[in-house]
Structure 1
Amino acid sequence: MQDYLQQLAAYWIGYKMRLVEAVGLTNDAMHIHGSLLILFGSAIILRRRPDSVWCWLIVLLAELFNEYADLQGQAPGEATTDAAMHDLYNTMFWPTIILILGRFMFPRAKKSDATPNISGDFADQPLK
């Protein structure tokens, strides 16, 4: 399993370095944009709101894997604990803000336990 993770990490670092060169953004900007892309992508795939804990956890897991790959020494200048913490803060800042503020600013609608009043007399006509 460890060998597989190391191979996957080496592949990811190569892909990440080519992506940074192709896009032309800084490493910090890529962390911010990537975290939001993963957050909203997971919300679409899971059919949940972006302020869901599950979506936030997916971003966290992706970032932890990214930092694992960086700490393996494959990425130049990224194999330090300080760089890993900087990237973790940078990546998780906006998903955490969305998680916290989304719950206060846009509370979920409460499901009503009452059954709707359906009349059987004129079932083909709308309720008035």
Structure 2
Amino acid sequence: MSDIRLERSFGVSPERLFAAVTSQADLLQWWGPEGLHVPEHALDLSQTGPWYSVMVNEEGQRFKVSGQVTSIDPPKSVGFTWAWHDDEDTRGPESHVTFSIVAMEEGARLIVDHRALGDDEVAQNHEMGWGSSLNKLETLIK
């Protein structure tokens, strides 16, 4: 199983960064790689329970992912399961994501840990996707 870990620093308080990565209003602005939008969702990482999102690219391709928010510790972390759905809406292999927020002298650092991703190719694709999504997050909270 492959894991990925990405880190980004932001010039905002841990509380603001936590809100940006958990509240629905902020999530919908940065969730998914650049060029995708989220027209369908039950996306709220601020409480435990089920979530899902459908991301759509410029060509109209749909990408559904779902899971369960498993833990929440404001403003330090949120954890959730993650699984892509196929074209018949069957849920695939499950992995786990943790967003951890660490206070820094000049703001806060977000650590994205995505574990149990399967093979290296799957991990590389997720690393690119999360990196692109974090670019959108940076734009949102500058």
| TM value normalised by structure 2 | 0.27
Larger radius of gyration: 1
Which structure: greater helix fraction? 1
Which gives a bigger RCO, structure 1 or 2 (Cα 8 Å, sep 6+)? 2
Which structure: greater strand fraction? 2
